A and B are shown apart, each in its own frame.
Chain A
Amino acid sequence: QLDRGCALHTAARGGLSSVSSQDVPAQRPRAIFHTSENDPAKHTEQHEGRLYNIPLEEVKAVFPHGLPHRFQQQIQTFNEARVMVRKPALEILAYLKGSNFAHPAVRYVIYGERGTGKTMTLCHVVHYCSRQGWLVLHVPDAHLWVKNCKELFQSSYNKDRLDQPLQASVWLKNFKTSNERFLQEIKTQKKYMWGKREITEEGRPLREVVEQGLARVRSATDAVGVVLREIKQQSHRGSFRLLVAVDGVNALWGRTTLSKEDKSPVSPEELTLVHNLRKMVTNDWSGGAIVTTLSQTGSLFKPSSAYTPQELLGKEGFDALDPFVPIPVPNYSPREFESCYGYYLERKWLQHEKAHTEDGKAELQFLSGSNPRQLDRLAGPL
């Protein structure tokens, strides 16, 4: 059925093989851009440049807060979530499949220019891990914790640090939706005191800690800290795998826009959330992996042309994250561009008459420079 494919996309056809799409009598163009391989575990280089589907219920369960805003809008418009399989993601998956979990956790830093698909790569990896049954600790955007915070309280646990109850409670809620069954299984190992009255005993499921944090907003940040510590200790033992996925990790080592009541600036270490997250990102535990993304878009006080790890992380961050595996994410290759373009055409997203022609395609490619974000923005009004 592959020979029936359109003459337009001969380049995409070059890498086809009979293994990949086991599509049943699908329409002709669909066969080329899409795969029915919905399990990221089975994605190989043959699937590169193709889009695979994630059922909507899974999306709600796995990504309560992880996807970029525009992609969420696209899901709503098209009523399906299609993620493109690209080389950087395949690279990380290969490493993850082959890594030895007795060794300390390996850190992967995804970097690239603006709008090339770093967050989407991260989500692809997160999807894979959740399918495999790992516990996923997904921080959608660390920059949210470092700026625009309305309420800052002094931490009861440690006098020097500052709490952020709002952000912590939001994150706890999303964490709960994504990892329901783990919260039941993992048991606390210490006794925790919340304030003067509430106590969580040893051996209680972690879900109680989370619910405590949600109920008592003041202690939400401490609840987050507790959750992180417990998970870290227990993954060390090997009962489950842990994936720490942080988007915008350069926020942890930059500057903040927050200030204390006496107008003095706050450095990131003084925030409890950031402090705990930093502990998670250090590789002194084993039994999982840490995948992070650098993001210039939300970063503070960094020039817009900076995209390498050195520039965005700063010296402090670089030393803290060193050693790591850097994974660059480039713009679309011609094949990927064609499959994205074909997908938009097929979903009738490009309504302009000229968009269907070869000239229109060349024009789109030129104007967007094969940058995924630019292409998405360009295709919007068309």
Chain B
Amino acid sequence: TLRLICTTTPVQRKNVGASGPEKYTEAFIKKQIEEFNLGKRHLANMMGEDPETFTQEDIDRAIAYLFPSGLFDKQARPVMKHPTEIFPEQRKIQWGEDGRPFNFLFYTGKQSYYSLMHETYEKLLSVQKHQDQLIAQDLPLQKEKRNLAGSRWLTKIELEEMLLEKVSDDDYSRFIKLLQKLVALPCADIEENYIQKFSKEVPVQLQKVVIEPLQHDERGVAFSTGEGKRKTARATAVVYDNGTGKITVNGVDILHYFPVLQDREQLLFPFQFLGRIGKHDMVCTVSGGGRSAQAGAIRLASAKALRSFVTEKEVEFMRQAGLLTVDPRVKERKKPGQEGPRRKFTWKKR
């Protein structure tokens, strides 16, 4: 008999089958939870706090203190959370000891999806039956419309998380259509609880920027403040009413602070746009950045301050003109292997 003593690596590799993501057993998860709780108590002890009333926020703060990290990505930093948040939910084994699956739809492949569809269709049928009953009894159908404007259906990813199995695009759209059909029926209120599992609220109120009202100083002159920034420069501006068009920056007149015409044009832009060149006085303070950045920062600050003096329509015009938007451009980082952010090293053929 010939015994293969040395085996080549490809042969060895074939024996190990490709397994999917690590399966965590229930016992493993339970152990993790116990360890987490113990660790929580130890941590509370270390920080000198009461172990009984140690919340998740306290844990986060303690970890950030004990393991300071300069990484930019928050998710890359050390984290201590409950195991259910860290380990993704996994499907328990779907079949029993005898090999017989629990669910009758197991052999369809997408058991939870089809079971969901079946359930939803059953609800639909029950609603239709109820409707028929009401019509037979000549009772008026309830006509309370759901507020569709403030809610949205679950996204595909959320549905996948809920069902713990992959859902294809077609399947997802079929499910949504079924839900919409259900909701369209007049008596859908009966199944309101069921439907709410699959809908989410959308915050209706968009972030409305509040325009501050005018303030008045001792002499009775109306004024308003605004802040602006550009690159590394930060500026605050105070715009007074009933003025002559004089502008002071850090205590110096603009002619002396900004000898370049371009910077003064930037300052002029908000006033010129509103047609109020000689009507307001302005006092600003600015720091950081360079000459151009400071001019841009003051421009933004003065535009924000001028909003209080002006009608809402003009505020909308200003926004469309780009006077109220913070300029997001900053200096791009230099990458290794290149001379600058974009420039590569000189390419030599040999």
Q: Which of A336-382 contact B (CB under 8 A)?
A: 359, 362-363, 365-367, 369, 371, 374, 378
Q: Is A18 an interface residue (CB 8 A)?
A: no
Q: Are A369 and B253 in contact (CB under 8 A)?
A: yes
Q: Are B245 and A365 in contact (CB under 8 A)?
A: yes
Q: Is B326 an interface residue (CB 8 A)?
A: no
A367 CA / B269 CA spacing, docked (Å) = 11
Q: Are A363 and B272 in contact (CB under 8 A)?
A: yes
A359 with B254: in contact, given A365-B245, A366-B268, A367-B261 (CB under 8 Å)?
no
A36 CA / B255 CA spacing, docked (Å) = 34
A359 CA / B276 CA spacing, docked (Å) = 9
B264 contacts across to A, CB distance below 8 A: 366-367, 369
**A-B contact count, CB below 8 Å?**
30
A359 CA / B279 CA spacing, docked (Å) = 12
Q: Is A148 an interface residue (CB 8 A)?
A: no
Contact flags B262-290 to A (C-beta < 8 A → 1, else 0) = 00110010011001011000000000000
B272 contacts across to A, CB distance below 8 A: 359, 363
A359 CA / B256 CA spacing, docked (Å) = 24
B265 contacts across to A, CB distance below 8 A: 367
Question: Interface majority SS on B: helix, strand, loop or mixed?
Answer: helix
Question: Is the interface on chain A under 10, 10 to 19, 20 to 34, or 35 or more residues?
Answer: 10 to 19
A378 contacts across to B, CB distance below 8 A: 261
- Report the minimal beta-carbon distance from A28 to chain B, rounded to whole angstroms: 25
Q: Is A305 an interface residue (CB 8 A)?
A: yes
- Report the minimal beta-carbon distance from B240 to chain A, rounded to whole angstroms: 16
The one of B254, B255, B268 that contacts A363, using a Cβ cutoff of 8 Å:
B268
A145 CA / B338 CA spacing, docked (Å) = 54
Q: Are B256 and A305 in contact (CB under 8 A)?
A: yes
- Report the minimal beta-carbon distance from B325 to chain A, rounded to whole angstroms: 23
Q: Are A366 and B255 in contact (CB under 8 A)?
A: no
- Report the minimal beta-carbon distance from B128 to chain A, rounded to whole angstroms: 69
Q: Are A369 and B277 in contact (CB under 8 A)?
A: no
A145 CA / B162 CA spacing, docked (Å) = 90
A369 CA / B264 CA spacing, docked (Å) = 10
Q: Are B275 and A371 in contact (CB under 8 A)?
A: no
Q: Are A366 and B261 in contact (CB under 8 A)?
A: no
A343 CA / B39 CA spacing, docked (Å) = 85
List the 9 closest pairs (A to B, CB-CB), nearest first. Answer: A369-B255, A362-B277, A367-B264, A366-B268, A362-B278, A366-B277, A366-B245, A371-B255, A363-B272
